């Protein structure tokens, strides 16, 4: 089956789905609220330096301040400041790379202290490396990277790298040779996967464009002192074309004529050979319904995901980590318990790898597989998980399965996961995921009435307003408790319901 990019574009929201062999493996959403920040470059102002955390808070003009770790500050900061003024380009390493593009570089020298590099009120050029997540602001880096269709310009480093996905040795050497000839004296270049077979003229043309763009960013940096956006990355539709439309993708289908025209114009400039791979969808059915994507999104918002065998996994997001629990469910197997458990765990591995990528779950992840007696089976599940995750563009690190059947892993996180993006905490249960039982609420009311009556003796009656569900329990199941309480407080209790009350809400008037 073909690999496809399906784009649902509307003025208020754009959604891009990556479909591989008929399966929706990735979903990117951008809304008109401007929350898609990764790749944007800002002039920021340091508002606070935290030596204890070796980090700094930086105002980049958003509601929430962003943060910059010492490891993401340019190593030779003096040279970096000169570079931002257009006098010098130097440095080493980059912490912002596009998916599919990578190179090896030494990590930053951690002997540098944040207080020696930054001070409050200082203006610096930064790029958003990770979206704000939960209560955390955006993560920044001062190692700037500007992606094009074929190349990524990294003006703060001096390096040439070629995407590992270009496996042909001769082609890699050819591309390196071209870049050595055309690259600026200072600055680094990453050759992207789509550059395979590209001519020197095409690469030179894009190189000149990126250098001109960087000069424009530098000029804007010099012209002011307040936090401001210097460069905005492409819209999600054009990013999909730039980063994802490769020889491995058979077609791109979009349902907006305006965005279709924008894409055609972009492709005509940067990748004319893909012009005939773009289709305008004009059918009556919504595009995501027609391709079965809407159903997958609804499935991704549920905690429980069923497996074909009858087993299931439960995905729970917490502040610190994501826990995934594997259960046999209704699957009973055909031979013995160990085989049933192994088959369920192996089936769960594929679904877990899929859900991590589709939901864009990152950070620390703990997977609780069903306990297996045989060490060989544990190893088999572990290797199957690593194999399933090998197709994931996000970097993952998986530890061996423990004796308790737990696997701890991490997955690179750059954007808010799908569940947090599309949902918000329940205003009714205040994000707890549960409510007090009706009995507990009734007894809480009884205790509060005793407190109130001990303070005031002005009335012979106590009036309580409660949710209608609680009224039923008080009048039908707690009659004896009400009578006993009336004797102890020596007052008549009058119960009334209020349909607008939260289940746990009540009001006592004396």
Cα 297 from Cα 418, distance rounded (Å): 9
Q: Which one has a higher pLDDT value, 87 or 340?
A: 340
As a whole number of Å, the end-to-end CA separation of the chain is 72
- Looking at the structure, tell me whether residues 254 and 365 fall in a common domain: no
Coil, helix or strand at residue 416? coil
Averaged pLDDT for residues 203-221: 86
- Looking at the structure, tell me whether residues 278 and 336 fall in a common domain: no
Mean pLDDT across the chain, nearest whole number? Answer: 83
The pLDDT of residue 98 is 38
Q: Which residues pair with 229 in a beta bridge?
A: 42
Candidate ranges 7-16, 59-68, 330-339, 346-355; pick with highest mean pLDDT: 346-355
- Looking at the structure, tell me whether residues 86 and 221 fall in a common domain: yes
Q: What percent of the chain has pLDDT over 70?
A: 90
Indicate the angle between helix axes 375-389 and 337-359, nearest 10 degrees: 20
Spatial neighbors of 193 by CB under 8 A, at least 6 apart, are 100, 101, 163, 165, 166, 246
Looking up residue 344, the CATH number of its domain turns out to be: 3.40.630
The pLDDT of residue 195 is 84
Q: How confident is the model at residue 63 (pLDDT cuts 50, 70, 90)?
A: confident
Averaged pLDDT for residues 279-288: 92
| Cβ proximity of 134 and 191 under 8 Å | no
Looking up residue 282, the CATH number of its domain turns out to be: 3.30.420.60
Burial 125-157 (b: 16+ CB within 10 A, else e): bbbbbbbbbeeebbbbbbbbbbbbbbbbbbbbb
Burial of 273 (0-12, 13-18, 19+ CB in 10 A): exposed
Averaged pLDDT for residues 374-395: 91
The DSSP string of 135-193 is TB--EEESS--EE-SSEEEETT---EEE-TT---HHHHHHHHHHHHHHS-SS-EEEE-G
| Cβ proximity of 163 and 100 under 8 Å | yes
Looking up residue 492, the CATH number of its domain turns out to be: 3.40.1260.20
Cα 352 from Cα 326, distance rounded (Å): 9
Classify residue 53: in a domain, yes or no: no
By residue count, the chain amounts to 510
The pLDDT of residue 95 is 32
Averaged pLDDT for residues 70-86: 53
Classify residue 38: in a domain, yes or no: no
Classify residue 428: in a domain, yes or no: no
Cα 165 from Cα 99, distance rounded (Å): 11
The pLDDT of residue 105 is 37
The pLDDT of residue 1 is 59
pLDDT digits (tens, 9 = 90+) for 213-238: 888 888 888 888 889 889 888 888 88
- Looking at the structure, tell me whether residues 290 and 309 fall in a common domain: no
- What is the extent of the structural domain holding 502? 438-509
- Looking at the structure, tell me whether residues 259 and 315 fall in a common domain: no
Judged by phi (left if over 0) then psi (alpha if -120 to 50, else beta), residue 93 lies in left
- CA dist 359 to 130, 303, 306, 351, 367, Å? 16, 11, 16, 12, 16
β 312-317/304-306 pair status: antiparallel
- Looking at the structure, tell me whether residues 405 and 451 fall in a common domain: no
pLDDT digits (tens, 9 = 90+) for 442-462: 999 999 998 888 887 777 889
Q: Which one has a higher pLDDT value, 197 or 95?
A: 197
- Looking at the structure, tell me whether residues 157 and 87 fall in a common domain: yes
Q: How confident is the model at residue 377 (pLDDT cuts 50, 70, 90)?
A: very high
- From 232, 247, 268, the end of a domain falls on 232
pLDDT digits (tens, 9 = 90+) for 132-173: 876 778 889 988 888 888 888 888 888 888 888 888 889 888
- Looking at the structure, tell me whether residues 494 and 347 fall in a common domain: no
- From 386, 421, 456, the end of a domain falls on 421
The pLDDT of residue 86 is 37
Number of domains the chain contains: 4
- From 294, 313, 338, the end of a domain falls on 294
| 289: number of Cβ within 10 Å | 12
Classify residue 107: in a domain, yes or no: yes
Q: How confident is the model at residue 23 (pLDDT cuts 50, 70, 90)?
A: confident
Residue 90, pLDDT above cutoff 60: no
| Cβ proximity of 364 and 408 under 8 Å | yes
Residue 75, pLDDT above cutoff 80: no
Closest to 359 measured CA to CA, from 421, 309, 310, 431: 421
Q: How confident is the model at residue 338 (pLDDT cuts 50, 70, 90)?
A: confident
Classify residue 127: in a domain, yes or no: yes
β 4-9/251-254 pair status: parallel
Averaged pLDDT for residues 427-444: 84
Residue 351, pLDDT above cutoff 80: yes
- Looking at the structure, tell me whether residues 372 and 465 fall in a common domain: no
Region of poorest pLDDT, from 196-205, 268-277, 441-450: 268-277
Classify residue 40: in a domain, yes or no: no
Q: How confident is the model at residue 441 (pLDDT cuts 50, 70, 90)?
A: very high
Classify residue 262: in a domain, yes or no: yes
| Cβ proximity of 329 and 310 under 8 Å | yes
Q: In what order do the strands lie in the sheet with 151-154?
A: 146-147, 151-154, 188-191, 160-162
Averaged pLDDT for residues 396-425: 86
- Looking at the structure, tell me whether residues 81 and 225 fall in a common domain: yes
Long-range CB contacts for residues 318-322, cutoff 8 Å, separation at least 24: 319/134, 320/364, 321/363, 321/364, 321/365, 321/366, 322/361, 322/363, 322/364, 322/365, 322/366
Cα 34 from Cα 54, distance rounded (Å): 29
The pLDDT of residue 380 is 94
Block residue for tokens 């550059």: 195
Burial of 264 (0-12, 13-18, 19+ CB in 10 A): middle
Classify residue 61: in a domain, yes or no: no
Spatial neighbors of 195 by CB under 8 A, at least 6 apart, are 150, 151, 163, 166, 175, 203
- Looking at the structure, tell me whether residues 280 and 317 fall in a common domain: no
pLDDT digits (tens, 9 = 90+) for 171-181: 888 998 898 88
- Looking at the structure, tell me whether residues 85 and 188 fall in a common domain: yes
């Amino acid at each position: 089956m073909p690999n496809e990019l399906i784009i649902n574009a509307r003025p208020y929201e754009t959604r891009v789905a990556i479909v591989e062999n008929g399966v929706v493996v990735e979903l990117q959403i951008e809304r008109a609220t401007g929350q898609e920040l990764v790749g944007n470059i800002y002039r920021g102002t340091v508002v606070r330096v935290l030596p204890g955390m070796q980090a700094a808070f930086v105002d980049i003009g958003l509601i929430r301040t962003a943060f910059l770790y010492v490891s993401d500050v340019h190593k030779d900061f003096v040279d970096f400041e000169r570079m931002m003024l257009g006098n010098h380009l130097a440095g080493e390493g980059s912490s912002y790379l596009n998916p599919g593009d990578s190179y090896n570089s030494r990590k930053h020298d951690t002997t540098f202290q944040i207080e020696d590099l930054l001070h409050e009120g200082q203006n610096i050029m930064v790029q958003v490396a990770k979206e704000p997540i939960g209560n955390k602001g955006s993560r920044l880096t001062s190692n700037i990277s500007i992606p094009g269709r074929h190349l990524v310009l990294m003006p703060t480093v001096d390096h040439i790298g070629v995407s590992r996905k270009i496996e042909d040795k001769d082609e890699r050497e050819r591309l390196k040779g071209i870049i050595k000839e055309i690259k600026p004296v200072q600055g680094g270049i990453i050759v992207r996967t789509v550059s395979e077979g590209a001519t020197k003229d095409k690469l030179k043309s894009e190189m000149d464009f990126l250098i001109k763009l960087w000069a424009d960013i530098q000029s804007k940096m010099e012209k002011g002192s307040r936090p401001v956006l210097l460069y905005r990355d492409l819209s999600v539709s054009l990013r999909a074309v730039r980063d994802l439309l490769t020889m491995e993708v058979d077609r791109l289908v979009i349902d907006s004529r305006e965005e279709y025209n924008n894409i055609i114009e972009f492709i005509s400039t940067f990748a004319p050979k893909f012009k005939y791979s773009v289709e305008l969808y004009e059918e009556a059915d919504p595009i995501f319904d027609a391709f079965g994507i809407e159903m997958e999104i609804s499935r991704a918002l549920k905690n429980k995901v069923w497996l074909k065998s009858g087993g299931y996994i439960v995905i729970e997001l917490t502040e610190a980590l994501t826990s995934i629990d594997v259960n046999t469910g209704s699957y009973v197997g055909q031979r013995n318990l160990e085989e049933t458990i192994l088959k369920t765990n192996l089936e769960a591995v594929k679904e877990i790898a899929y859900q991590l990528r589709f939901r864009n779950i990152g950070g620390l992840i703990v997977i609780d597989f069903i306990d297996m007696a045989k060490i060989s089976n544990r190893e088999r599940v572990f290797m199957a998980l690593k194999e399933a995750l090998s197709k994931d563009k996000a970097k993952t690190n998986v530890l061996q399965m423990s004796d308790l059947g737990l696997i701890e892993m991490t997955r690179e996180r750059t954007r808010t996961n799908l569940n947090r993006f599309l949902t918000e905490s329940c205003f009714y249960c205040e994000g707890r995921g549960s409510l007090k039982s009706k009995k507990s609420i009734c007894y809480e009311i009884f205790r509060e009435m005793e407190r109130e009556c001990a303070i005031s003796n002005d009335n012979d009656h106590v009036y309580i307003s409660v949710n209608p569900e609680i009224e039923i329990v008080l009048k039908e199941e707690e009659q004896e408790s009400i009578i006993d309480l009336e004797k102890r407080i020596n007052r008549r209790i009058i119960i009334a319901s209020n349909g607008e009350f939260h289940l746990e809400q009540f009001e006592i008037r004396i």
